[in-house]
Structure 1
Amino acid sequence: MCRWLAYLGNPIYLEELIYKPKHSLIDQSLAARTSETTTNGDGFGVGWYGNRVTPGVYRNIQPAWNDNNLKDLAAQIASPLFLAHVRAATSTAVQQTNCHPFRYDKWLFVHNGVIDNFKHIKRDLALAIAPDLYPFIEGSTDSEIMFYLALTFGLADDPVNALEMMVGFIEQVSQDNGGTTSIQMTLGISEGKRLIAVRYSTIGQSRTLYCSKNWRACQELNPECDIFSENARLVVSEPLTDLTDDWEEVPESTAIIIQSDHTVTQSFQPRSFQ
């Protein structure tokens, strides 16, 4: 599968999380500890928010550990909110348009997981995407289809509700086509103000996802350098260093909405789209 991280807090250089920690995202692209696949070398991407509404995105099909441009950019770009992703392809091509994050307007979206039997239900899923959104789909992944379904179901108005309807719709289509298990996911999503993370799977055996309890968990990544503000929070597929009491595993079927001044944790329950 894949590995990803998402950060919200004071502006920091991307390299502080992508490169510098003991078990950084670059290290995870070579040797993930809790992933279905040890190596995540089928491309990477990073999306960040700056002074404009639309976030910047850099994606490449090279392994993250072998891209000097990423290293230079990460050392120069500082952002208060960014998402990064290293990919292990499942059944779709290794190409730039299949690398995460996916972007539409001000939204960024990363995914770790899979839709079972995606090739058999892809057409039914794609036909449900709003006609005005469909032309913006560039790649062939299940992840991008999930993103555009969520946009269709109202991501801009009520993100968690739209994601619940997206998952419920995929599960229903899977069942209608004779499937028994349908979706596996951890998601990271933002519009530049909030960071939304979800952990869910149809069979209740989701990929791992961790969230920092407070800024101290972030500070543990670089104890010698006081760079994180008290509102800094981090969500990761797996910890970037040794697991301590300042980190907690996100429970099954849970959504977390992180803002600069507070965090909300709530149950995530797929629902029908009428």
Structure 2
Amino acid sequence: MCRHLAFLGPEERLGTLLTDPPHSLFRQSWAPRRQRYGTVNADGFGVGWYAEGDPVPARYRRAGPIWGDGSFADLARVVRTTALLAAVRDATVAGADGEAAAAPFAAGRWLFSHNGAVAGWPHSLAPLVPTVPPVDLLSMEARSDSAFVWALVLNRLREGDEEGEALAGAVLEVARAAPGSRLNLLLTNGETITATAWGDTLWYLAEPGRRTVVASEPYDDDPYWREVPDRTLLAASRTDVLLTPLKDLDDQVSDTSAPDDQASAPPKEPIA
């Protein structure tokens, strides 16, 4: 369900990243190569990007397929940015909220996308509703599983969690309430990219000191694309990528009664 991509690097046209590559996000909307669930991502699309001197990103979103939007072709040709997040959507529930349900979701400097689906939505996550401030629930852009997951993440960010803590905490919380959910989350603040691989594909392409791309699947056949293992947290900047295994839920439950020296966090692996 869905394909998404985030980029940090030297200034590029949107089209260089989203429409020009042979297996671009544009093409993935109808011909993804590694999508495990669904085949066509025609239920909306969006792109958010950052302009120099402004930490709050701009967004362009539509309810229809990306290939049917002539205005986006013009944007992709002329708009340039050093950071973006874009997504094409295959809706969990068809027709839900139209353009408002298309990623990226936004708040302040953050852009967010969810590739996957929450099992048993909406009933499965009803127990988590009290954990979200009422004003945030009333302010949700859409009544979709992705929008609610964003509300969970955003609440953690506003409470002071770092980006990685917020994504990992939300993934484990949702996975416990709704086993079998697919929770590939993607978050950027224009300076870093944070993502989770949980139930679907995630790849990254890094040129240390120059650019980093994180995507559901490679947009070309560059041999330096690397796949992120399932149940992994990715934290990236323009200079490096760090992969951290997300603890298996069964291990997490058993660790709650284990001595402190047996419940230490998993090792972090720096990736050049």
Please indicate the TM-score interval, normalised by the length of the shorter structure. 0.7 to 0.9
Amino acid of the residue matched to residue 80 of structure 1? T
Gaps of 5+ in 2: 254-272
Contact 2:47 2:59 in 1 (8 A): yes
SS at match of 1:21: coil
Report how far residue 128 of structure 1 moved.
2.0
2:54 aligned counterpart, secondary structure: coil
Runs of 4+ more than 6 Å apart: none
Q: CA deviation at 1:135?
A: 3.0
Q: CA deviation at 1:93?
A: 2.5
CA distance in 2, matches of 1:123, 1:171: 13
Q: Determine which of 217, 220, 223 is the counterpart of 1:241.
A: 220
- 1:26-175 equivalent positions in 2, closer than 5 A: 26-35=26-35, 36-50=37-51, 51-94=53-96, 95-154=98-157, 157-174=161-178
User: d(CA) in 2 for partners of 1:128 and 1:157?
Assistant: 15
Alignment TM-score, normalising by the size of structure 1: 0.84
Following superposition, the deviation at residue 92 of structure 1 comes to 4.8
**Structure 1 counterpart of 2:173, which letter?**
F
1:46 and 1:57 in contact (8 A); partners too: yes
> In 2, distance between residues paired with 1:126 and 1:263?
33
TM-score of the pair, normalised by structure 2: 0.84
RMSD: 1.9
- Structure 2 match to 1:218: none
Distance 1:211 1:172 in 2: 27
**In structure 1, how many angstroms separate the alpha carbons of the residues matched to 2:104 and 2:235?**
18
Give secondary structure in 1 for the equivalent of 2:152. helix
Amino acid at match of 1:17: L
3-state secondary structure, aligned to 1:62: coil
- Aligned mate of 1:265, from 243, 249, 266: 243
Which secondary structure state, in structure 2, belongs to the residue aligned with residue 251 of structure 1? Answer: coil
Aligned residues: 246
Equivalent pair of 2:168/2:196 in contact (CA under 8 Å): no
Tell me, in whole angstroms, the C-alpha distance in 2 between the residues paired with 1:171 and 1:253. Answer: 11
Aligned counterparts of 2:94 and 2:65: Cα–Cα separation in 1: 16
CA deviation digits over 1:98-154, x for unaligned, max 9?
Answer: 100001111110111011001213433333212342232020111111111012223
Question: SS of the residue aligned with 1:81?
Answer: strand
Residues 48-79 of structure 1: per-residue CA shift (max 9 Å, x gap): 11131211011001110110111111112111
Structure 2 residue 171 is the aligned partner of structure 1 residue 192: no
CA contact (8 A) 2:231 2:246 kept: yes
Ranges in structure 1 where 5+ consecutive residues have no aligned partner: 175-180, 201-205, 216-229
Identity %: 31
Cα gap change, 1:38 to 1:182, in 2 (>3 Å):
closer
